[in-house]
Amino acid sequence: MSTPSRPRSLAEHVAAVLARVAPLPVQDVGLADLAVEPPGRTLGAEVRAVALVPPFDAAAMDGYAVRLADLPADGSPVTLPVVGDLRPGSPPGRRERGPDGAVRIMTGAPVPGWADAVVPVERTSTGRFVAGGPTTERVVTLARQDRAHVRHRGEDVRPGDLLGVTGAAVTPALVAVAASAGLSALPVRRRPRVAVLSTGSELVAAGAAVGAGRIPDSNSLLLAALARAAGADVVRVGAVPDDADALPAALDEVVDRGDLGGPGAVDLVVTTGGVSAGASDVVRAVLAADDPRLADVDVAAVALRPGRPQALARWRGVPWVALPGNPVSAFVSFALFVRPAVAALAGREPARPVSRPAAEAWASPPGRTHVVPVRTLPSGAVERAAAPGAGRDGAGGHATSALLGADGLALVPPDVEKVEAGDLVDVLPLDLPFGLR
């Protein structure tokens, strides 16, 4: 077991976590499947177009396809015979132009090869088309317009155009553009599979009677929701009692989850609680055991507030990140350590802090990175997120409800003892889904 003699910095512990994970394999997945999947997929290779978009010159408006040479340059109206009717799906080039003629055409239909403009119907003597109605007008009066209203072949996308880079999120727009550009599938990494559980004999299921000395298990729900928002598929075990036999059994269960494809189907295990130095800290007890299922144990005190006690290991080869049990500490630790690990598994870059001015002053403990839940004001400055009904300084790190109003975590460096109003602070955004940018 590795236990450093000095507190580990935030950056050092992030590096220790990321050293245990690697991007998942790449697989081709059909666009039809990607369109209905939850978010979280990222590209495992760059994607380029293989077809023209649009594939032919198409009408951009409902109206009449004409030859500009037949329309006076000064904008004077002219009356032309209506010699055809083109609708979406019509084969291009099927309609021949008559002398000085116009073709009734609907948006998306192929423009005849002889035509070089479409005059919108509302700018003509027809005024409007009746949906589903046949061509009834024999002639139309119209004039030259400022715009041609023709979408030219390949003006949007051409074969070889870059649609997405390696590590980019698979978005609805990417799925749609890829389909238009001739692709049927994308090279993607599967969503990471994360198992979450909380430890503590005092925990009961949410909604159950708590009784003396018992509290609801909110942490496993917290971790599951955070992992899902980070783009992972989640296995939630719930609460495990403070028992040195129960925890290994629970870890074996999640590693062997048959509904996720059997052994090796879980990519990451995340637990909360039991990593401090108390007599009931079951995670520390299991990590200290001589167990062949356990490897690469690393128990660390991180120079962080909240979230000082942390631990890492592998359980039967699966990376295991053990977070503290305080709900705010668990939330902060997930954002700082687990979210980057999920991003790394998915093959994308983690979310990065942004610089924001502080709207108010607050004290900060020296020697540790102080993580402060903040909310962004309309001005762009940030203030501390307060617990509902509490005074500004009426609740400490245990006030989980302060997270309700937070949209970021301010990261105050260890050498700063006070943040003054107007000081720039690094803020890790908590926009959801985490890291899907």
For the chain, list the domains and their CATH numbers: 10-24+190-346 (3.40.980.10), 27-50+162-189 (3.90.105), 58-151 (2.170.190.11), 354-429 (2.40.340.10)
- pLDDT value of position 6: 80
DSSP code of residue 222: H
- Those residues of the chain that have pLDDT short of 70 are 1-5, 92-99, 258-264, 278-280, 389-398, 432-437
Going by C-alpha positions, the residue among 275, 272, 279 that lies closest to residue 400 is 272
| Residue that the structure tokens 């989640």 belong to | 234
- pLDDT value of position 204: 78
Interacting residues of 93 by C-beta distance below 8 A, sequence separation 6+: 110, 112, 113
Interacting residues of 317 by C-beta distance below 8 A, sequence separation 6+: 264, 295
Range list of H helices, 19-119: 31-36
- pLDDT value of position 213: 76
* Digit-coded pLDDT (tens) for 208-267: 777 777 878 899 999 999 999 999 999 998 899 999 999 999 999 988 875 655 555 799
Q: What is the DSSP string of 277-318?
A: SSTT-HHHHHHTS--TTEEEEEEEEBSEES--EEEEEEETTE
- pLDDT value of position 434: 43
- pLDDT value of position 63: 96
